[in-house]
């Protein structure tokens, strides 16, 4: 094979492989069609054969009976034309015998007629006559005739004896069918109105060539029909393949455009979230930066160690929030693990004493009630990640309390047998809008949605980003549970469930 032929063959193979999936479907359709066509062909063939067989049998029986009736009528008319009382000369006798033989031989010339004879009842039993000489001797000259009969005549005599009573009673033509192609016809022989016997004819008409021709014609028609359907399927395949290719190209273009828009949207959302984190972190860093400056100004030799430790914690917290600002999804080992052992009670005390009770002058003082369980075990969470969880929730109570004399209560409880702890932050302020306590399809309360504000204080606008971050970090990164409730006194309550 030349190189050019090889390249052409390779191109054809690649073209076929491109539509391999569609060709498989086409072959399945074609095989199903062929199986259905075979089943229909078989059923129709059976039906056609049955109809042809019944029609052929009816026609064969009718033809056999017509020939037998004609033979019987001819014999009756010939016998009636001859007077049995007069004596015939030798030439007349030979003429009568010849006429009888002509009648017998004419029927036997038909290829479908196997045997013809006349059956008479006499004292000796049933006599079968199949030639003009014996018939003349038996009917006209009353002479003795031969008694030896052939096998076919014996079969005719046996059938006649079985049906003689019916023939005598009805004096109508009777046909006995052997198989589907052999007909034994008995026609009552009644010259001058007197029943004397029966004309028997055995006929085997063959019309199988008609059935065979019709079956072959139907098979050719089914083959042409299947070929036309196959050609139609191929044409449909070619047309649909071209249409599908055009559709796929359009869908691919649409998908690429949607992917581009989606990527732009995701990028915009990330930029927006990044900006929000920067804005949120800026306020935290600005407030803590003020505390650091204040500590540096007021630091004395006696308080140097205490201030140094406090400033170190402030700086570490600022570093943590800046680190989280850079990472949308920080590594898990920087959040929790066996390397961390944080005392939750100590973190709460530090936040209350060194963040929330260092309020600027002129702001309403807030009272904090701490009810901390000393049996609370440490958690394997980064201390400053815990700051990021608790600080927004406590700040939420301060921002949305909406009243003077606000009391924020923080309790911790540990149940030793259940391997879990509970941290509760509640206040006696205005509480939370009940609508925000409803849950969405994912089971998250609306107060923890990104743009939901946790208070009913309408005098201030808040983005609700703090509660959103606290819930995200607590549930997604620390593995805790966080739920918001209304207190019995009307304030807000946030419950942390901490597994150990």
The per-residue pLDDT for range 15-54, each reduced to its tens digit, is: 555 544 456 666 777 777 778 777 777 777 777 667 766 7
Exposure of 421 by Cβ count < 10 A (0-12 exposed, 13-18 middle, 19+ buried)? buried
Residue with tokens 């399927």: 233
pLDDT band (50, 70, 90) for residue 73: confident
Quote the pLDDT of residue 460: 44
Question: Phi and psi for 415 in degrees, rounded to 5?
Answer: -105, 110
Quote the pLDDT of residue 82: 65
Which tokens in the block code for residue 87?
């004596």
Least confident of 19-28, 269-278, 304-313, 351-360: 19-28
Rg (CA), the chain: 58
Cα-based angle 231, 236, 241 (whole degrees, multiple of 5): 130
Quote the pLDDT of residue 363: 47
Question: From CA 382, how far away is CA 336, in angstroms rounded?
Answer: 6
**Helix (H) or strand (E) run with residue 205 in it:** none
CB 175 within 8 A of CB 161: no
Residues linked to residue 498 through DSSP beta bridges, in sequence order: 421
SS3 call for 1: coil
Quote the pLDDT of residue 426: 93
SS3 call for 37: helix
Which tokens in the block code for residue 305?
């160690």
Instruction: Quote the pTM value.
Output: 0.49
CB 474 within 8 A of CB 406: no
> 224-237: buried (b, 16+ CB within 10 Å) or exposed (e) per residue?
eebeeeeeebeeeb
- Is 24-206's fold the same as 331-499's? no
pLDDT at 362 over 90: no
The CATH code of the domain at 331-499 is: 3.30.565.10
Question: From CA 355, how far away is CA 268, in angstroms rounded?
Answer: 34
Quote the pLDDT of residue 495: 94
pLDDT band (50, 70, 90) for residue 144: low
Extents of the domains making up the chain: 24-206, 331-499
**Helix (H) or strand (E) run with residue 492 in it:** strand 492-499
Query: In terms of pLDDT, which residue wins out, 397 or 89?
Result: 397
Query: In terms of pLDDT, which residue wins out, 389 or 197?
Result: 389
The DSSP bridge pattern shows strands 407-415 and 367-371 to be parallel
Phi-psi region of 50 (alpha: psi -120 to 50; beta: other; left: phi over 0): alpha
For the residues 114-126, what does the mean pLDDT come to? 78
Question: From CA 97, how far away is CA 331, in angstroms rounded?
Answer: 127
Question: From CA 115, how far away is CA 370, in angstroms rounded?
Answer: 129
Q: 479, 475, 471: which is closest to 379 by C-alpha?
A: 479
Q: 141, 94, 150, 93: which is closest to 117 by C-alpha?
A: 150
Residue-wise DSSP of 322-338: HHHHH-SS--GGGTBST
**Helix (H) or strand (E) run with residue 395 in it:** helix 383-400
Sign of CA dihedral 22, 26, 27, 29: positive
Question: From CA 89, how far away is CA 87, in angstroms rounded?
Answer: 7
> 107-136: buried (b, 16+ CB within 10 Å) or exposed (e) per residue?
beeeebbebbbbbbbeeeebbbbbbbbbbb
Question: From CA 485, how far away is CA 492, in angstroms rounded?
Answer: 6
CB 45 within 8 A of CB 215: yes
For the residues 339-343, what does the mean pLDDT come to? 91
Residues linked to residue 408 through DSSP beta bridges, in sequence order: 368, 427
pLDDT at 454 over 60: no
Residues linked to residue 414 through DSSP beta bridges, in sequence order: 421
Question: Phi and psi for 222 in degrees, rounded to 5?
Answer: -65, -40
CB 430 within 8 A of CB 490: yes
Q: Put the strands of the sheet holding 174-178 in their side by side order.
A: 125-129, 113-122, 197-203, 182-189, 174-178
CB 494 within 8 A of CB 447: no
For the residues 439-447, what does the mean pLDDT come to? 89
Mean pLDDT of the chain: 78
Q: 24-206: which CATH topology? A: Beta-Lactamase (3.30.450)
Highest-pLDDT range among 12-26, 297-311, 318-332, 348-362: 297-311
Q: 129, 48, 141, 153: which is closest to 93 by C-alpha?
A: 141
């Amino acid at each position: 094979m030349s190189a050019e032929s090889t390249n052409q063959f390779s191109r054809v193979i690649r073209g076929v492989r491109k539509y391999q999936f569609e060709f498989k479907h086409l072959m399945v359709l074609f095989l199903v069609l062929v199986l259905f066509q075979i089943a229909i062909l078989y059923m129709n063939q059976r039906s056609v054969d049955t109809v042809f067989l019944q029609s052929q049998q009816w026609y064969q029986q009718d033809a056999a009976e017509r020939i037998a009736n004609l033979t019987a009528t001819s014999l009756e008319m010939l016998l009636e034309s001859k007077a049995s009382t007069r004596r015939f000369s030798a030439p007349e006798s030979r003429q009568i015998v010849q006429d009888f033989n002509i009648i017998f031989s004419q029927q036997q010339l038909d290829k479908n007629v196997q045997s013809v004879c006349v059956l008479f009842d006499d004292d000796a039993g049933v006599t079968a006559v199949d030639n003009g000489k014996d018939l003349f001797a038996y009917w006209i000259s009353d002479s003795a005739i031969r008694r030896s009969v052939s096998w076919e005549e014996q079969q005719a005599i046996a059938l006649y004896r079985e049906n003689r009573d019916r023939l005598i009673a009805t004096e109508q033509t009777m046909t006995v069918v052997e198989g589907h192609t052999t007909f034994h016809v008995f026609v009552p022989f009644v010259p001058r109105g007197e029943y004397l016997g029966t004309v028997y004819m055995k006929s085997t008409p063959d019309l199988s060539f008609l059935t065979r021709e019709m079956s072959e014609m139907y098979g050719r028609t089914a083959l042409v029909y299947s070929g036309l359907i196959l050609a139609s399927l191929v044409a449909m395949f070619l047309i649909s393949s071209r249409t599908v290719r055009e559709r796929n190209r359009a869908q691919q273009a649409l998908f690429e455009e949607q992917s581009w828009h989606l990527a732009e949207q995701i990028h915009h959302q990330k930029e927006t979230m990044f900006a929000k984190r920067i804005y949120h972190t800026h306020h935290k860093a600005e407030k803590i930066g003020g505390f650091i400056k204040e500590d540096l100004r007021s630091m004395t030799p006696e308080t140097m160690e205490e201030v140094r430790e406090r400033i170190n914690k402030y700086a570490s917290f600022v570093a943590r929030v800046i680190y989280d600002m850079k990472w949308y999804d920080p590594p898990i080992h920087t959040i929790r693990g066996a390397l961390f052992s944080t005392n939750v009670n100590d973190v709460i005390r530090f936040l209350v004493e060194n963040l929330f009770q260092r309020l600027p002058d002129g702001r309403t003082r807030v009272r904090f009630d701490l009810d901390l369980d000393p049996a609370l075990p440490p958690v394997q969470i980064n201390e400053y990640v815990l700051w990021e969880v608790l600080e927004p929730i406590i700040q939420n109570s301060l921002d949305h309390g909406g009243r003077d004399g606000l009391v924020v209560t923080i309790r911790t409880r540990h149940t030793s047998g259940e391997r879990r702890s509970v941290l509760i932050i509640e206040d006696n302020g205005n509480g939370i809008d009940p609508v925000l306590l409803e849950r969405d399809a994912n089971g998250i309360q609306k107060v923890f949605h990104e743009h939901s504000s946790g208070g009913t204080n309408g005098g201030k606008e808040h983005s609700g980003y703090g509660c959103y971050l606290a819930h995200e970090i607590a549930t997604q990164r620390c593995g805790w549970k966080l739920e918001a409730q209304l207190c019995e006194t009307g304030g807000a309550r946030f419950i942390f469930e901490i597994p150990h």
